[in-house]
Amino acid sequence: MRKHIHIGAAALNTTPKDWSGNTDMILAVIDEAKRRGLGLLCLPELVTTGYGCEDEFHAPYVSEWAMRILLEKIIPATREIAVTVGLPIRSHGATYNAIAVVVNAELLGFAVKQNLAGDGIHYEPRFFKAWPSGHVEHYDFDGGRCLIGDLVFEIDGLRVGFEICEDAWVAGRPGVELAQRAVDVILNPSASHFSFGKSRIRERFVQEGSRAFHCVYVYANLIGNEAGRAIYDGDCLIATQGAIVARTEPFQFQDYLLIDAVVDVEANRVNRNRQASYRPTFDSVERLSVSEWQVWTEAAFTKAVPMRTAYTQNEEFYRAVTLGLFDYMRKARTNGFAISLSGGADSAACLALVYLMAKTVLQENPQHPYVRQLLGDADTTTEALMRRICVCAYQGTINSSDTTEDAARVLAEETGAQFVSINVQALVDEYETILSGYLGRPLNWETDDISRQNIQARCRAPGIWAMANASNYLLLSTSNRSEAAVGYCTMDGDTAGSLSPVAGIDKTFLRQWLVWAEREHLPSLQIVNGLNPTAELRPLSADQTDEEDLMPYPILNRIQKLAVVQKKSPRAIFDCLQDEVEGASAEQTFAWLKRYFSLWSRNQWKRERYAPSFHVDDENLDPRSWCRYPILSGGYIDELAELEAFVFTLKGN
Ligand SMILES: Nc1ncnc2c1ncn2[C@@H]1O[C@H](COP(=O)(O)OP(=O)(O)OC[C@H]2O[C@@H]([n+]3cccc(C(=O)O)c3)[C@H](O)[C@@H]2O)[C@@H](O)[C@H]1O
Ligand SMILES: Nc1ncnc2c1ncn2[C@@H]1O[C@H](COP(=O)(O)OP(=O)(O)OP(=O)(O)O)[C@@H](O)[C@H]1O
Ligand SMILES: NC(=O)CC[C@H](N)C(=O)O
């Protein structure tokens, strides 16, 4: 009875060029799929090499190695199952992003990506060429020949086509053509990074693909922090007749996730048949078929589809970042994290995220091999894990307050992290003496403000670095996106570190997230949440605050969004702010804009030097993954001069 198929999708936590690690996971998930009785399994794109190999895709040996793994390890493991496996393929002197279709230990051919992802954090056109739609040819490999290109694969009468990740995000998606070629199944092997709310977009095109194209639509994504910056949520989906019938629970601390469903292929065929708009394509494309083994199943069971946890944005943030931190820690082969803990919001957020990482992994996968490697067999408490993986240091000067020290200590205690309080004033004095000797005069705050602030910030770097080195920890740099926009940080001071967990998110979000985290997880954040953000670098009597030095954070974030995301000119932003900000005079608005644009353009070099950060939305400022800006530029001098002249006219002069 050729009616139902048992089909699945898997998310894998791959690592670029971890040949044996990736292969072992692929073999394990194929094994599991066979045990569950699946006929067809879809794996993510470029799963053999890892998606994020960057310029290594130019190295001929990388595609050769992936091909060798496919032929020698993966194909022999696919007896009595059909599996799709992503790998780079060389042809016509170029590299293509391809999917091998392997059925019952036989290579049927390769489907190839037709729409490359080249926006945002994606650089695929740098590595790959797009395959021309409708084109098919022969591909010779060591020991064989098969077809490659825009193929429909016929497996035992089941017609299978592909949309490979970005293919499904474009207006002219290949699914339209595939539907006219009467495919029963569209497989979508993806590597689609997390950003806020993105899983709902995926759900929409998967559901809609299955409805409009009258097919079973199967979507497989990566899971985890693959290569450092992008985090994958592990979204896998199966839909038929416009409804989701299986999906993964996202953000899991697992090597792989597997979902499966038994679906009625015939029901889609009946629907297509009755559709007046269906116009079969009588194309000349060769079809491939195998018949020795049955892809069809006798089983016609349906399973209840588990509801996906509906995460709020605050939950999505911590789930993504904690998974990002955990994978970064283990893939960098380190033992944990060091944090210079000030009692302020940014470093507190970093510690809270490490704590939530420890708590979540212990709740959801206490036997994770890396956790066991760190803890041994005995301990399973969050506090025990935190003690093992995290050290925090408060580093006071004469400008530090008791309140911030208290905030830091109490928070560290609640998380279970190791805590030390150090006074770095003696170091500050030494460096002030050196500078004063060089200048030939005593220092004072009127003339030496920036130097004196920065000496303090820089005196905090060596100690915490030393603690990080002593335990093979990663030093977390605590900068947030609002500070990054205006370079409100001391290079080689508070920017010191190897990973910036919160540099992808703005201060306003972080502050409200900390209020949520206080309520849901860490009551001791109450002290932190009661403080006004301050660098505490000037004497306490100066009552320094970030917003006094800069501007209110909501204004800063708004300007940043209008300038960076919407690409508006200073003049256009001036008009927006005048409309939006009640009571702000033209002079005040101009002053904010002048400060923002002068600091933004002056400090691109700082953003270039930030430690790697995680991508969580399309307002990211990371120049290496998202937001390009020249290091040296005109500094908005002409734009601001013109705006200032305009503001002058408003005064009626
Ligand atoms: N294009 C370019 N390429 C390379 N270097 C460039 C440059 N433009 C300027 N520079 C150099 O940049 C240097 C200035 O940068 P840097 O030394 O970092 O110092 P700078 O940006 O001048 O001052 C640091 C600021 O960050 C604030 N801060 C510091 C620490 C913590 C916090 C907090 O929020 O807690 C805030 C502090 O209040 C102050 O406003 C100068 O020596 C200048 O020559
Ligand atoms: N007294 C301190 N002890 C330890 N680290 C400090 C101290 N003061 C500053 N730092 C380090 O410098 C970083 C930058 O300070 P910044 O003021 O930007 O952040 P914060 O203090 O965490 O938050 P907020 O800006 O809300 O006060 C801190 O996150 C922390 O890592
Ligand atoms: N790998 C890809 O093709 C990803 C592109 C797609 N727009 C996404 O972000 O999900």
- With H, G, I as helix, E, B as strand and everything else as coil, classify residue 193: coil
Known binding residues for L-glutamine are 192, 198
Q: What distances in angstroms separate CA 584 from CA 561, 589, 641, one per listed residue?
A: 19, 6, 20
Distance CA 450, CA 573 (A): 29
For the stretch 445-491, pLDDT in tens is 999 999 999 999 999 999 999 999 999 999 999 999 999 999 999 99
Residues 153-180 have a mean pLDDT of: 95
**Does the beta carbon of 191 lie inside 6 Å of ligand 3?**
yes
Q: What is the 3-state secondary structure (H, E, C) of 524-561?
A: CHHHHHCCCCCCCCCCHHHCCCHHHHCCCHHHHHHHHH
Nearest ligand to the C-alpha atom of residue 422: 2
| Atom 3 of ligand 3, residue of closest alpha carbon | 166
Name the CATH topology of 551-653.
Arc Repressor Mutant, subunit A (1.10.10)
Burial class (CB in 10 A: 0-12, 13-18, 19+), 440: exposed
| 627 is an active site residue | no
Whether 455 lines ligand 1, by a CB cut-off of 6 Å, is no
pLDDT at 293: 79
Residue whose CA is at the smallest distance from ligand 2 atom 20: 344
Tell me the two tokens of residue 252. 């899991």
Q: Which member of 42, 53, 113, 627 is catalytic?
A: 113
- CA geometry: angle at 355 spanning 353 and 357, to 5°? 70
ipTM for the predicted complex: 0.95
Main-chain phi, psi angles of 91, to 5 degrees: -160, 145
Q: Which of 53, 124, 154, 165 is catalytic?
A: 165
Asked about 414 being catalytic, the answer comes back as no
- Write the DSSP string, 24-59: HHHHHHHHHHHHTT-SEEE--TTTTT-S--GGGGGS
604 three-class SS: helix
- Is 534 within 8 Å of 546 (Cβ atoms)? yes
The reported pLDDT for the residue numbered 301 is: 63
Check the CA dihedral 449-452-455-457 and report its sign.
negative
Residue 222 corresponds to which amino acid?
Answer: L
| CB contact at 8 A, 424 and 456 | yes
Which CATH code fits 4-297? 3.60.110.10
| Mean pLDDT, rounded, of the chain | 95
Please say if 165 is a catalytic residue.
yes
Summarize pLDDT for 589-600 with one digit per residue, the tens: 999 999 999 999
Task: Calculate mean pLDDT across residues 543-551.
Answer: 93
Q: Which residues are annotated as a binding site for ATP?
A: 478
**pLDDT above 70: percentage of residues in the chain:** 97
10 Cα to the center of ligand 3, angstroms = 17
- Number of H helices and E strands in the chain, helices first, is 23, 22
CB of residue 490 inside a 6 A radius of ligand 1:
yes
Q: Alpha-carbon distance 47 to 42, whole Å?
A: 11
Q: What are the sequence ranges of the domains in the chain?
A: 4-297, 313-545, 551-653
Q: Which atom of ligand 3 is nearest to the CA of 119?
A: 7
Query: Which amino acid does the sequence have at 319?
Result: R
3-state secondary structure at position 106:
strand
Q: How far is the CA of 224 from the centre of ligand 3 (A)?
A: 15
Residue 496 class from Cβ within 10 Å (0-12 exposed, 13-18 middle, 19+ buried)?
Answer: buried
Does the C-beta of 486 come closer than 6 Å to ligand 1?
A: no
Residues with CB under 6 A from ligand 2: 340-342, 344-347, 394-396, 400, 404, 460, 478, 494, 533-536, 546
374-430 pLDDT per residue, tens: 999 877 899 999 999 999 999 999 999 999 999 999 999 999 999 999 999 999 999
551 C-beta closer than 6 A to ligand 1: no
Q: Which of 165, 231, 235 to mutate to test ligand 3, by most ligand atoms within 8 A of the CB atom?
A: 165
Residue 314 has pLDDT above 90, yes or no: yes
Ligand 2 centroid–CA 535 distance in Å is 6
Measured in Å, residue 550 CA sits from the centre of ligand 1 at 13
Task: Say if residue 53's pLDDT is above 60.
Answer: yes
Maximum CA pair distance of the chain? Answer: 94
Looking at residue 2, what is its pLDDT? 80
Mean pLDDT, residues 577-604:
97
CATH ID of 313-545, from 3.40.190.10, 2.60.40.1180, 3.40.50.1100, 3.40.50.620? 3.40.50.620
Integer Cα distance of 253 and 323 in angstroms: 7
The Cα 259–Cα 221 span in angstroms is 12
Test site for ligand 1: of 428, 445, 453, most ligand atoms within 8 A of the Cβ: 453
Binding site membership of 166 for ligand 3 (Cβ less than 6 Å): yes
